[in-house]
Amino acid sequence: MTSLAKIKPELCISCGLCAVYAPDIFDYDEEGILLFKEEPEAHQQFIPQEQEAALRKAAGKCPVRAILMEKLAD
Ligand code: SF4
């Protein structure tokens, strides 16, 4: 099953946790605000099944809930 990750960079406090848990998905701009590694301008991205666990951890650890995860039916 694919997931959709949605991010709210306006909430991000640059704590750095999300890229610890999901380094293949998330990266930061020059101010430490999160963005998608592959699509820095995007606010949502489809996440393949093999990266879902990492996404779930990152979303769960984010102190300001700037990362949301939606399950999508195949
Ligand atoms: S875990 Fe949340 S607050 Fe911390 S860098 Fe990632 S998005 Fe920003």
Q: Which residues of 26-55 are buried (b: 16+ CB within 10 A; e: fewer)?
A: bebeeeeebbbeeeeeeeebebeeeebebb
Q: Which fold has domain 3-71?
A: Alpha-Beta Plaits (3.30.70)
- Nearest ligand 1 atom to the CA of 13 is 3
For residue range 16-73, what is the model confidence (pLDDT) as tens digits? Answer: 999 999 999 999 999 999 999 999 999 999 999 999 999 999 999 999 999 999 988 7
Nearest alpha carbon, ligand 1 atom 2: 62
Nearest alpha carbon, ligand 1 atom 1: 62
Confidence at residue 74, expressed as pLDDT on a 0 to 100 scale: 64
For residue 1, is pLDDT > 90?
A: no
- Which residues form ligand 1's pocket by a CB distance below 6 Å? 12-18, 34, 62-64, 66-67
- Nearest ligand 1 atom to the CA of 26 is 6
Confidence at residue 73, expressed as pLDDT on a 0 to 100 scale: 73
